[in-house]
A and B are shown apart, each in its own frame.
Chain A
Amino acid sequence: MKEHRSIVRTARPLSLVGPAFAWLAAGVVAAACVFIIVYIVKEGLSHVDWTFLSSDPDPSPASGEGGGVRIPIVGTAFLVFITTLLTFPIALGASVYLAEYMDERRPLTKAIRLGLEVLAGVPSAVFGMFGVAMFSHGIFTFMSSSGAEGSDVAFGRSFLVAGVVMAIHVLPFVIKAMEEAIRAVPVSYRQGAAALGVTKWRALQRVVLPAASPGIATGVILGMGLAAGDTAIVWLTLGGTMNMAVDAWWQLSSAVEVLRGTGSTLTTFIYFSSPAGEGNAPELAYAGAMVLLVLLVSLNAVATFLGRKPRSV
């Protein structure tokens, strides 16, 4: 009896420490998030207006002439579009394979899993560096403008290069999200289809993937968010410039040239404008950050909305 009592007595205060710490930790996270958002909005809001959104960046913003984020917004859209275009089919195929076809016990499977984990852990700056080194090779001149006249190296920096590198960076995360979405489809659907004599592949096409589509869409949006939010890859593989290679970038006829040329995104605009970059105009950095934040929060909201949607018709 005595021993029992002593156990109870020591357990009581400990049982309060755990939850208290959990609450505190959660509170710190929430407070940090709210603080950052409030601070950025407070600093950035006064600069975000139509002129800011519709004008192009000034290469020397410290002069006080301002400059806006039209090209960075368009650049972000281009980059996200290319990345998504490359990521979606590969991630879908890989996640279907991982969720439906592979044998978890085989060495090949373990190698793929390990590969994905390592890929997910590689810092984006490393991808960026790799991208420039790789795509500067002469055979990749079709992806970026060529280097110096007469040389056989490519410039290695363009929307296409950045898109490809970004796709490699986001793939493991998107694959993981899609695989989970596919695995979450109830086994009863697969069994029902199999019992009707529907082949596995057709059941996948007609039943499993449609049922998993909200989760798959969430995975795509996750990838879009990652692509829009990454800085290092863009800074290294899109060139450290603010404006696009072609002035009249909106013309369809110059599309190829634009995609093979350098440019900027919201993240590089923030870096460039901040005291850490050449621009040294923190108010513009805050304004850019606010625009990016709104974009990312909206993407998250869409993902949440899709994820919550009941799996009906």
Chain B
Amino acid sequence: MYASKEDAVTQKSPVRPTSEADEAAHLLAELDREMIRAARSLETGTLIDVRDLEVRYGSKVVLTDVGLDIPLRQITAFIGPSGCGKSTALRCFNRMNDEIRSFSMSGRIRIGGQDIMEPKVDVTELRRQVGMVFQHPNPFPMSIHENIALAIREHTPRISRDEVDHLVEWALTKANLWNEVKDDLKRSALALSGGQQQRLCIARALAVKPTVLMLDEPCASLDPISTARIEELLLELSGEYTIIIVTHNLAQARRISDDVAFFLMGRLLEFGEARRVFEDPLRRETADYVRGVYG
């Protein structure tokens, strides 16, 4: 990336510390830049900023040269054909890729100004902040109540039973599921329909008070009515949460997203306001994909 090691160092820290005073000045300058950056991100409303992201599984490069600013409290859709790297990108944001042995990445991902790849980052806390819902609904094989209470207790160890009950009700209400299940919270979550299970998974993620909600093709295994309910729910939630949705369904992306990121073969080809990307794409590949030429 850099011409030489020397270049790399100068690029990272233009002020090279030579004495203690220099070092202090250097730190102050760093702090200044940090504050300016934070202020700017508040201004533009960016929550997640990604720079030069490259991901490999073993020697295979699955994402390269990805940079984007995901806006606060909006719905951002990641679209693109299978294998384009959109799910991989999503899984970088809550470090779910860490579990994969051959995974390696470079570049920088900051959420709310915090570099999430730093060693001091508490991954469990990161995952609380950045909730995730999977393609296939995956409620735990336990009661509806326990499904939600489990993570609440994990993050708030000495929470009282009443508070847990209260949060469970709050989360289920938030996920538009409360009215359907309130009479029988002890029922197995596996007895719910697919759409209800998916809303339970959303409730489960919301219960631990995240700032970001990521959904990886959440409607792929659902019928149109359940899909519509989830979309409705996401639109409701978008005022409070930063939502990122990976979807194959272009119509869905059109219906609910504010911004769209189009991935193709491991690259982010286009990122911008949804209407603009769909109606007036900058690149031919995007236009072809949106028109259904491939995918």
Nearest-neighbor residue (CB-CB) of B214 within chain A: A195
Nearest-neighbor residue (CB-CB) of B139 within chain A: A192
| B140 lies within 8 A of A195 (CB) | no
Chain A interface, >50% SS class: helix
Which of A137-145, A203-211, A236-244, A270-278 is found at the contact surface with chain B? A203-211
| B94 lies within 8 A of A193 (CB) | no
Indicate whether A198 reaches chain B with its CB closer than 8 angstroms: yes
| A189 lies within 8 A of B131 (CB) | no
Taken together as a complex, chains A and B put the C-alpha atoms of A188 and B141 apart, in Å, by 11
Number of A-B contacts defined by CB within 8 Å: 78
| B138 lies within 8 A of A197 (CB) | no
* B residues near A197, Cβ cutoff 8 Å: 123-128, 151, 154-155, 208
What is the CB-to-nearest-CB distance from A106 to chain B, in angstroms, rounded to a whole number? 12
Asked, given contacts A195-B96, A196-B205, A196-B208, whether A210 binds B141 with beta carbons under 8 Å apart, the answer is yes
Asked, given contacts A197-B151, A197-B155, whether A192 binds B138 with beta carbons under 8 Å apart, the answer is yes
What is the CB-to-nearest-CB distance from B201 to chain A, in angstroms, rounded to a whole number? 7
Asked, given contacts A196-B154, A198-B124, A198-B151, whether A313 binds B134 with beta carbons under 8 Å apart, the answer is no
Give A20-42 interface residues, CB cut-off 8 Å to B.
none
Interface residues on A, range: 20 to 34
Nearest-neighbor residue (CB-CB) of A103 within chain B: B101
Give A230-284 interface residues, CB cut-off 8 Å to B.
none
Taken together as a complex, chains A and B put the C-alpha atoms of A191 and B191 apart, in Å, by 20
Contact with A along B80-105 (1 / 0, CB 8 A): 00000000000000101001000000
| A196 lies within 8 A of B136 (CB) | no
Q: Which residues of B contact A (CB under 8 A)?
A: 94, 96, 99, 123-128, 131-132, 134, 136, 138-143, 150-151, 154-155, 186-188, 190-191, 201, 204-205, 208
15 contacts between A and B (CB under 8 A): A188-B134, A189-B140, A189-B141, A195-B131, A195-B134, A195-B205, A196-B128, A196-B151, A197-B151, A197-B155, A198-B151, A199-B154, A206-B140, A207-B141, A207-B150
A189-B141, A210-B141, A211-B141 known; 20 other A-B pairs, CB under 8 Å? A188-B134, A188-B138, A189-B138, A191-B134, A192-B138, A192-B204, A193-B150, A194-B127, A195-B127, A195-B131, A196-B127, A196-B151, A197-B124, A197-B125, A197-B126, A197-B155, A207-B140, A207-B150, A311-B190, A312-B188
Closest 5 CB pairs of A and B: A197-B127, A188-B138, A197-B128, A195-B132, A196-B151
